[in-house]
Structures are given as structure tokens and as C-alpha cells.
């Protein structure tokens, strides 16, 4: 019983992903002799099963933080841990979805979805059966033999979602995954993602520059400051009931209230970010 309680407390308190005091410095793109500190002293923790969105102005360092969590980029200072273990190299408990399509154009939708399982050594027949299941789950049953160029933008996103989730990652990292879609398709995909997430709750780190999207999807919204030296400057629990319809929830009075609160923090940063872009920064 003692052991059970200790184990229970451990899973309750150990974040799925913890970025602690992260600083990330690059050689400046304009002048390679200069250093640019994109992220300074940023701490971000995501509990198992929690859906967290990170918002901030364009160029502030959102993708940098996500890439650090993915293990694609090593921070200049600070630590990353995954379920309490320090991260070394790629984060193998995480699946990723990026803004750009990561589908292999020479493979059918089915082959794209099963590729990860095949790579992990799952037998082809088993991988195929699971991939067919996942295509159905994202509404693409019967489209398995289509190639990416034969699919619409929204359908390609569905394939990408199946491709990521079929590996059953404990952590899902998404970097503005729907921002290239038109608003209707985007809302369909957001609802689709929430439905899948509700069925098997994973820790999600969702990057977006769209505050409406962040609030509609998340348990918690973290606001980043404008760069240089970006770090969280605000954190808001989103206490809207689930299940949510991302289009309908926007007219809920509590949504409007949260939006006003968060925008109060985000607005100045967006203005700063915009002025930096005008200045060529």
C-alpha cells in the first residue's frame, strides 16, 4: 500500500515534460559574429494527460522551446526531463506534428501512416491493420491508397495526425499544426484532435500564435514574452467544460472573459514583436 501510494504520488507530481530554466543562444542570422539569446530562463512543465498551449508573438521562440522539448535542439543552459528522467538526445516518448506537411510524397496515405510502426519493427500485416484503423479514426477510411498530392490540405493533416498518434506517444508536440488551413477546415481538425485526445489523454504541448485556438483547445495557456530572452509571463487555467466544440465555445461568456484577460498580457508582447520585425530584427 505504501508502495502504491508513493507510486501514485509520483505519477501525480512528475511532469510528462519539464523544461527548467532554459536559455538558448544562437549565432545571429544577420551577423554570425553576434549572439542572439532567443530564450532566457524559461520554465515550462506539462503534466501527464494535460493539454497546454503556448502563445506568443511571431519570432519570440515558440518553435525553439518545442524543439528543445523534442530533443532536436540542446539548450545552452537549463534542463529537460521526460517523466522525471533527464532527456538525452531525441525525445522518444514524444510524437511531433509541424506546420509543414511531413508526409512522404512517394508513399500512399496508408504507407505514410504505417511507416513509423514498420520502422519500429512491427510486422507489416499488423502495421497495416493498425494504419487502416487509424485512417478510419481520422475519417479517411477508403482513402488509404491515395498519395499526398491527391489529398486536400485538411486530409493531409488527418493523415499526419494518424501518422503521429499511431505510435501512441505519451507526449504530443504540435507546432502550429493547423495554421495553414482555412478557418472551417481548421475548426474541423481542432475538434477532431480534441476528440482523439479525449479518448486517450496524452500530454500535449501545442504551439500557436492564435489565442482563440489556444483557449478553445487547452487546459492551460502559457503566454511568452516577445524576444529576445523569451520566457513565460502569464499562465491561465482554462476552466471551460469539456467536451468542447471549438467553434461554439468562442461565444461562451467565460471564453470571452478569459480571452480578454489573456489578451491583456499578450497584446503588448505582440506589439513589441511587430515593432522588432519592422526594425528588421
Ligand X SMILES: Nc1ncnc2c1ncn2[C@@H]1O[C@H](COP(=O)(O)OP(=O)(O)O)[C@@H](O)[C@H]1O
Q: Residue 222, SS3?
A: strand
CB of 176 to Mg ion, least distance (A): 6
Q: Which of residues 98-157 bind ligand X (CB under 6 A)?
A: none
Query: Which of ligand X, Mg ion, none interacts with 147 (beta carbon under 5 to 8 A by kind)?
Result: none
CB 83 within 8 A of CB 170: yes
Task: Judge contact between 166 and 114, C-beta under 8 A.
Answer: yes
Residue nearest to Mg ion (CB): 63
Q: Which of 14, 20, 26, 101 binds ligand X (CB under 6 A)?
A: 26
- In the bound complex, what is the minimum distance in angstroms from residue 207's beta carbon to ligand X? 7
Answer positive or negative: Cα dihedral of 118, 120, 197, 51: negative
Residue with smaller CB distance to ligand X, 63 or 130: 63
Distance CA 21, CA 18 (A): 10
Number of residues counted as binding Mg ion (CB under 5 A): 2
Would you count residue 36 as binding ligand X (CB under 6 A)? yes
Q: How far is Cα 62 from Cα 75, in angstroms, rounded to an integer? A: 13
Nearer to ligand X, 63 or 191 (CB): 63
The 3-class secondary structure across 7-62, one letter per residue, is HHHHHHHCCCEEEEEEEEEEECCCCCCCEEEEEEEEEEEECCCCEEEEECCCCCCH
Residue 179 found at the interface with ligand X (CB under 6 A): no
Q: Applying CB under 5 A, which part among 61-69, 161-169, 235-243, 247-255 lies near Mg ion? A: 61-69
Contacted by 29, from ligand X, Mg ion, none: CB < 5 to 8 Å by type: ligand X
Residue 42 binds ligand X, judged by CB under 6 A: no
DSSP-derived pairing of the beta strands 171-175 and 94-97: parallel
Q: Give me the half-sphere count of Cα atoms (radius 13 Å) on the Cβ side of residue 233.
A: 22
Query: What residue 59 binds from Mg ion, ligand X, none (CB within 5 to 8 A, per partner kind)?
Result: ligand X
* Residue 52 β-bridge partners: 205, 220
Cα 189 to chain centroid distance, Å, stands at: 14
Q: Which helix (H) or strand (E) holds 194?
A: helix 183-199
Does residue 29 bind ligand X (CB under 6 A)?
yes
Binding mask 210-239 for ligand X (x = CB under 6 A): -----------------x------------
Backbone angles phi, psi at 172, to 5 degrees: -115, 125
Cβ proximity to ligand X: between 25 and 261 the closer is 25
Q: Does 208 bind Mg ion (CB under 5 A)?
A: no
Site track 54-73 with ligand X (rule: CB under 6 A), x = hit: --x-xxxxxxx---------
Residues contributing to the site for ligand X (CB under 6 A): 26, 29, 36, 38, 56, 58-64, 227
Amino acid at each position: 500500500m505504501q508502495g502504491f501510494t508513493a507510486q501514485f504520488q509520483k505519477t501525480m507530481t512528475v511532469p510528462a515534460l519539464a523544461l527548467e530554466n532554459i536559455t538558448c543562444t544562437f549565432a545571429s542570422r544577420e551577423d554570425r559574429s553576434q549572439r542572439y539569446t532567443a530564450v532566457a530562463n524559461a520554465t515550462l512543465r506539462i503534466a501527464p494527460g494535460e493539454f497546454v498551449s503556448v502563445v506568443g508573438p511571431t519570432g519570440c521562440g515558440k518553435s525553439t522551446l518545442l524543439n528543445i522539448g523534442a530533443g532536436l535542439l540542446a539548450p545552452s543552459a537549463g534542463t529537460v526531463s521526460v517523466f522525471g528522467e533527464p532527456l538525452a538526445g531525441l525525445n522518444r516518448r514524444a510524437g511531433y506534428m509541424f506546420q509543414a506537411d511531413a508526409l512522404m510524397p512517394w508513399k500512399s496515405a496508408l504507407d505514410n501512416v504505417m511507416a513509423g510502426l514498420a520502422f519500429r519493427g512491427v510486422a507489416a500485416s499488423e502495421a497495416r491493420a493498425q494504419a487502416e484503423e487509424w485512417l478510419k479514426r481520422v475519417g479517411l477510411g477508403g482513402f488509404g491508397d491515395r498519395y499526398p498530392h491527391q489529398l486536400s490540405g485538411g486530409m493531409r493533416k488527418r493523415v499526419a495526425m494518424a501518422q503521429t498518434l499511431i505510435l501512441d506517444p505519451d507526449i504530443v508536440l504540435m507546432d502550429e499544426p493547423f495554421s495553414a488551413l482555412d478557418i472551417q477546415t481548421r475548426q474541423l481538425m481542432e475538434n477532431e484532435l480534441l476528440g482523439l485526445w479525449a479518448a486517450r489523454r496524452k500530454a500535449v504541448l501545442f504551439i500557436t500564435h492564435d489565442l482563440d485556438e489556444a483557449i478553445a483547445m487547452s487546459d492551460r495557456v502559457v503566454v511568452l514574452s516577445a524576444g529576445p530572452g523569451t520566457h513565460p509571463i502569464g499562465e491561465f487555467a482554462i476552466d471551460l467544460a469539456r467536451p468542447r466544440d471549438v467553434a461554439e465555445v468562442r461565444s461562451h461568456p467565460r471564453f470571452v472573459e478569459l480571452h480578454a484577460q489573456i489578451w491583456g498580457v499578450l497584446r503588448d508582447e505582440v506589439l513589441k514583436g511587430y515593432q522588432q520585425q519592422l526594425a528588421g530584427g
